[in-house]
Amino acid sequence: MASIQNITVLGATGSIGQNTLDVIRRHPDKYRAFALTASRSVEQMLADIAEFQPRYAVMADAQAAQQLNTQLPTDCTTEILSGDEALAMVASHDDVDQVMAAIVGAAGLLPSLAAAQSGKRVLLANKESLVMAGPLFMQAVEQGNAELLPIDSEHNAIFQSMPESYSGELSAHGIDKILLTASGGPFRGKSRDELTAVTPEQAVAHPNWSMGAKISVDSATLMNKGLELIEACFLFHCAPEQVQVVVHPQSVIHSMVQYCDGSVIAQLGQPDMRTPIAYGMAWPERIDAGVKSLDLFEIAQLDFMPPDEASFPCLRLAKEAFAAGGTMPAVLNAANEVAVDAFLRQELSFIAIPDLIEQVMKRHAVQHIEQLQTVLDADRWARDCAQQLMTEESL
Ligand code: NAD
Ligand code: MG
């Protein structure tokens, strides 16, 4: 990497976005924030524009873009844009080298795809886009000649633990299986009965990681691990049977690869997303991420246990959705987004989240996905179906 790398940060005001800006901040000689995007956090965007002076700032929300424009200092040269086309434009701009795909949820699909199609280094945090449209996304990476680097800590750990020459077939490299670690979330050890009355505040209070609200709830339901299992299957071209979920409450090991000679290679580190972010940005080199090193004596103990699929059915639902294939993972994802949103607004109980998703999945007639529109239609259908079920039944 000789010249300064221009980076577009999609979802710049979020948890991953802010961690990415912190890594960029530490290496002004190597990286430049070319474009920043957000949904509607005007205050944070104003501060980030002042500090990073990007060429573009895109607000998905038109009103927020207008508000941002009026509050911008007169000497600011950042161009403010809004809407889907602008998001895709900054993700695929000729001057951009790397795109951090860190919008939350299905909204991240189109700009992440645009980055892949235009051959960027895609730093993929937005796992939902792979879950929704895995085959199309991987095809876009190949056709666009993009570099896909996983930022999700587990997938980043797997990537680091695999041979550099990995060709897309586990057995060809003597790999028996991938061990996908999970913290178990804030409700690990609780029975379904004990989960009936849990609140959004309790659900977003993750024991190890500080993250956005949606992924925090996904971690509490274990849907996050379900989405990650699907993500791993697409990223590493493997079958779900080759990915074993291992609950590891300390979140010190971020995932492992088990080889046929008895070796298990793991990546360990602090639960700090700047490590995988910096790894993705600098790969195949390494740069300082601002993360303190592990103190193994302080950790002292590492525990492992199987996931509890009876209390947390979302993992099973994700496996079923992947097995059904086609549009079903997109339906799982969309129903989950509606359910999590309703839970956060206290309109749906915690244990009703998997129930609602399962009912939506039962009503879906799977279609093959050859075109993006099929995925977008399935996403729309699942959202409408979930809303309808919530009004019809007291879930
Ligand atoms: P967050 O809620 O903190 O931030 C989301 C960002 O997306 C914000 O900048 C927001 O303005 C933007 N956004 C939201 N809705 C949008 C829309 N409709 N259109 C355009 N932009 C929109 O989320 P996060 O925790 O940073 O997670 C981002 C992604 O990274 C998710 O896909 C998540 O699963 C993944 N991820 C996050 C972590 C983590 O530690 N936070 C770890 C692994 C993977
Ligand atoms: Mg993860």
pLDDT value of residue 2: 57
pLDDT of 1: 54
For the domain with range 5-150, which CATH number is right: 3.40.50.720, 3.40.440.10, 3.60.21.10, 3.30.1490.190? 3.40.50.720
Q: pLDDT tens-digit profile of 27-40? A: 999 999 999 999 99
Confidence band of 75 (pLDDT split at 50, 70, 90): very high
* Ligand (nearest to CA of 155): 2
* Mean pLDDT across 342-361: 98
pLDDT band at 267 (very low <50, low <70, confident <90, very high): very high
Closest CA to 194 of 225, 212, 220, 214: 220
Percent of the chain topping pLDDT 70: 99
Question: Is 141's pLDDT higher than 60?
Answer: yes
CA of 274 relative to ligand 2 center, distance in Å:
13
User: Other C-beta atoms within 10 Å of 138: how many?
Assistant: 17
pLDDT for the residue numbered 137: 98
Q: 284: cis peptide before it, omega within 30°?
A: yes
| Contact (Cβ atoms closer than 8 angstroms) between residue 122 and residue 155 | no
What pLDDT shows up at residue 190? 97
Ligand nearest to the CA of 64: 1
Nearest CA owner, ligand 1 atom 43: 152
For the Cβ of 104 lying below 6 angstroms from any atom of ligand 1, the answer is yes
* Residue 252 Rama label (left phi>0; alpha psi -120 to 50; beta): alpha
| Residue 369: per-residue pLDDT | 97
Cβ contacts of residue 389 below 8 Å, gap of 6+? 356, 359, 360, 395
AA identity, residue 283? W
More confident residue, 245 or 394: 245
Please give the average per-residue pLDDT across 86-104, as a whole number.
98
Question: HSE-up of 135 (CA within 13 Å, CB side)?
Answer: 14
Record the tokens describing residue 212, joined without a space.
């956005």
> Do 325-391 and 5-150 fall under one CATH topology?
no
**Which pLDDT does position 393 carry in this prediction?**
73
Report which protein residue has its CA nearest ligand 1's atom 40. 211
pLDDT tens digits for 289-318?
Answer: 999 999 999 999 999 999 999 999 999 999
Ligand nearest to the CA of 183: 2
> What predicted TM-score, i.e. pTM, was given to this entire model?
0.98
- Rounded average pLDDT over 186-212: 94
Mean pLDDT in residue range 332-341: 98
CA of 328 to the centre of ligand 1 (A): 22
Question: 211, 235, 277, 338: which to mutate for ligand 1, most atoms within 8 A of CB?
Answer: 211
Indicate whether residue 38 lines ligand 1 (CB < 6 A).
yes
- What is the tens place of the pLDDT at every residue in 173-193? 999 999 999 999 999 999 999
CA-wise closest residue to 143 among 168, 176, 118, 173: 118
Question: Is the CB of residue 395 below 6 angstroms from any atom belonging to ligand 1?
Answer: no
Domain boundaries, the chain: 5-150, 158-299, 325-391
Tens digits of per-residue pLDDT, 268-284?
999 999 999 999 999 99
The share of the chain scoring above pLDDT 90, in percent, equals 97
- Residue 259: what pLDDT? 98
| Over residues 332-359, mean pLDDT | 98
Check residue 207 and give its pLDDT. 86
* Candidate CATH numbers 1.10.287.3510, 3.30.420.40, 1.10.510.10, 1.10.1740.10; the one for domain 325-391: 1.10.1740.10
212 Cβ closer than 6 Å to some ligand 1 atom: yes
Residue 96 Cβ inside 6 Å of ligand 1? The answer reads: no
Residue 206 banded pLDDT, cuts 50, 70, 90: confident
Q: What is the pLDDT of residue 22?
A: 98
User: Residue 256 and residue 248: Cα distance in Å, rounded?
Assistant: 12
Q: Average pLDDT of the chain? A: 97
Q: Is the pLDDT of residue 236 over 80?
A: yes
Average pLDDT of the residues in 356-375: 98
Give the residue, 260 or 206, on which the prediction is more confident: 260
For the chain, percent helix, then strand, then coil, each to nearest 5? 50, 15, 35
